[in-house]
Structure 1
């Protein structure tokens, strides 16, 4: 006779449950916590697992933060062509596990929402740390689902008067412009991605590009650039000259950025020199020590390849809200 006490089955929450529980303000708090934990050695976040397919990719990430009651594992997919099918470009779910027993406490069938949200929050943290205090114009390159979260995150930390939307597909650009005007009381302008100069205080690249879409010549002095799209080998959005000329390059995870992010094409000697002189750093270090004062001629870059620590931090917030 089996006398082992039964345990309740894991709670299952839908995307609507998760969306109702957490939004950008909580996500920004979780991103700050994750980056600080990474910088202080208080996060355990292994390298992500990737599966590339002809039409998209799947990523598995996970992480645990010291002192947290839970940890998390996340699967997410990204299929850019879904936009032409009228389908979401991302999907996924998160498993929340008990930190003491390893038992699954909840499954969040969030459809990739948490990945999109925490990535938008990471962009907000980077912009808040490194962007000009007065940011009149922010440019966004790309038209996928994530760019909407980058816009939302930016609007939580800055009050721009103009948002500049840049892409190659004019139909998608105008659709994004309509969405932006509906959600935010700002001037919205559209520009074709054709190599022409970008008149903006900050530029956020949100694409699946495998060759640079942004060059140094397009940028004005004092600009801040956040690169979101490079999250697997072969992807890159920025001309290496942008990173090599930047006064500050801040990444979420240096080893990961060198393997799958924008640093993967930078020579090791240049990376070593930048680390030595302090121009290559992490967002967590800047949060802990403070970012250098902004100047009108300083150029900065943030490379966000996405970490399991971010997934663990936002999952803990969601778990606390939904389970208790």
Structure 2
């Protein structure tokens, strides 16, 4: 007779994984994608237009891993106005050898938030200047906090600037940062004024650009996190065309769900994050403009779920 698989809560999963763990799992995922040692179908998306929400389903099986996974995640930005979390989710962990359900993670979207932050840190570490005087983040939602937490694992900026349109949310976000890091934080209205930061992260659900080419100077690195569905866009196309190097987590996803939707880049250099991990590191040209477009892959979900499963199921 079949027994019910164990169910783990968000609190149990939070106590099991650190951001450092998540960054290492991201390396595992992107190396597997580059080596083509992972099976991962395209993401499935459901737009809930009535309530300005969306639901994503992503899954993957990394070769050699004891567990594969399927993740369901939701994003309802309007929840913030009602004091309700804007994201939720769960992960089904499956035994790779038998197909039996090994565990259910009722993580409330935590694993998605964590692995997304980790991917942002990995892109920042590989592409941003070694010394970042100013880190700018556009957006003040839940994922913005994970991006800051992860970024501080790989860089120590002299100051952080939070850009947004909601003063109360920006103030709360700035306070949250200052409670965790001894770094000056300033708030700035999101408009089309030039930015002085040499590392910029955009974390919004926007369908129109929030960052324009004339705002970004040469030598800057930009990571775009928010575009993960049809019609979304955070970066002005001319900014993408200016880039000396564009890095994506998945080229197909970037072209169908991310910043490269409908963009003809001609012969511009577009590479994957996984390929960068296999290159010999060289000093960064201080005048390069680099962009990372991260739409989120099932391989990342599988890698971090497998790590959590190994720790929780072995106890």
Verify same fold: TM over 0.5: yes
CA distance in 1, matches of 2:178, 2:88: 26
**Alpha-carbon distance in 1 for matches of 2:168, 2:4:** 46
Q: CA deviation at 1:7?
A: 3.9
Which of 28, 32, 40 is 1:37 aligned to? 32
Preserved contact between residue 213 and residue 238 of structure 1 (Cα < 8 Å): yes
Aligned to 1:108: 105
Q: Which of residues 194, 208, 212 is equivalent to 1:211?
A: 208
Q: Is the 8 A contact 1:240 1:265 kept in 2?
A: no
Gaps of 5+ in 1: 1-5
Match of 1:243 in 2: 240
What displacement does 1:291 show?
Answer: 5.0
Matched residue, 1:306: 296
Unpaired runs of 5+ in structure 2? none
**Count of residue pairs brought into register by the alignment:** 312
Aligned position for 1:190: 187
Return the offset for 1:293. 2.9
1:254 is aligned, of 227, 251, 271, to 251
Pairwise CA RMSD: 0.9
Instruction: State how 1:42-191 maps to structure 2 within 5 Å.
Output: 42-54=37-49, 55-191=52-188
Measured in 1, the distance between the counterparts of 2:123 and 2:102 equals 32
Residue among 3, 16, 21 paired with 1:8: 3
Distance in 1 (CA, whole Å) between partners of 2:130 and 2:105 is 36
Name the stretch that deviates more: 283-292 or 172-181: 283-292
Q: Is the 8 A contact 1:130 1:291 kept in 2?
A: no
| 1:236-291 CA distance string (max 9 Å, x none) | 00001111111110000001110000000312xx25x22xxxx2100000001135
SS for the counterpart of 2:77 is coil
CA distance in 2, matches of 1:167, 1:292: 35
Q: 1:290 to 1:209 in 2, by over 3 A?
A: farther
Q: Structure 1 residue 295: deviation in Å?
A: 1.6
User: Are the equivalent residues in 2 in contact too, given 1:138–1:202 (CA < 8 A)?
Assistant: yes
Spell out the pairing of 1:278-289 with structure 2 (5 A cutoff): 279-289=269-279
| Cα deviation digits, residues 164-191 of structure 1 (max 9, x gap) | 1000111111111111111111010111
- TM superposition score normalised by structure 2: 0.97
Match of 1:227 among 213, 224, 240: 224
CA distance in 2 between counterparts of 1:217 and 1:291 reads 29
In structure 2, do the counterparts of structure 1 residues 172 and 13 end up closer, same or farther at CA, with 3 Å as the change threshold? same
Residues 179-207 of structure 1: CA distance to partner in whole angstroms, max 9, x if unpaired?
A: 11111110101110011111101000000
- With structure 1 as the length reference, what TM-score do the two structures score? 0.95
Q: 1:293 matched to which residue of 2?
A: 283
CA distance in 1, matches of 2:141, 2:39: 30
Distance 1:23 1:245 in 2: 36
